[in-house]
Amino acid sequence: MPIGTLFSWLTEKGYGFLQPDSGNRERAFVHATEMNRLGIRRPIVGTPFEWELIQRNGKPYAVNVELLKPFGPKVEADTDDSDDE
């Protein structure tokens, strides 16, 4: 599954394009329904995503889009209140 970022978004049209970070760097079309499924109404350019790539009408199309954490994996907070002195 490609990983990359939102390259552009046209709110009035309801679609945008995802830019893969590596491999085939061809941008993939992404429809607003994919963003809406994630609860995103106005996607921000540069947001990281992972997606499945299919071909529709001979063009790359992103489906099953998932939002990635922008700063890597979640870091658990240290909840130990004891002093280690």
* Predicted pLDDT of residue 20: 95
- For residue 8, give Cα distances in angstroms to 18, 37, 44: 7, 18, 8
* Predicted pLDDT of residue 30: 98
In a domain, 83, yes or no: no
In a domain, 52, yes or no: yes
In a domain, 76, yes or no: no
Give me the residues paired with residue 66 across strands: 50
pTM, rounded to two decimals: 0.77
Q: How many domains does the chain have?
A: 1
Above 80 in pLDDT, residue 76? no
In a domain, 78, yes or no: no
Domain hosting 40: range is: 3-67
Q: 35 φ, ψ to 5°?
A: -70, -40
In a domain, 72, yes or no: no
In a domain, 73, yes or no: no
Q: What is the CATH number of the domain that holds 29?
A: 2.40.50.140
pLDDT digits (tens, 9 = 90+) for 1-10: 899 999 999 9
In a domain, 17, yes or no: yes
- CA–CA distance, 62 with 18 (Å, rounded to integer): 8
Whole-number CA gyration radius for the chain: 17
pLDDT digits (tens, 9 = 90+) for 19-75: 999 877 799 999 999 999 999 989 999 999 999 999 999 999 999 999 997 544 444
Give the Cα-Cα-Cα angle 38, 26, 73 (nearest 5 degrees). 45
* Predicted pLDDT of residue 8: 97
Kindly indicate the confidence band of residue 81, based on its pLDDT and cuts at 50, 70 and 90: low
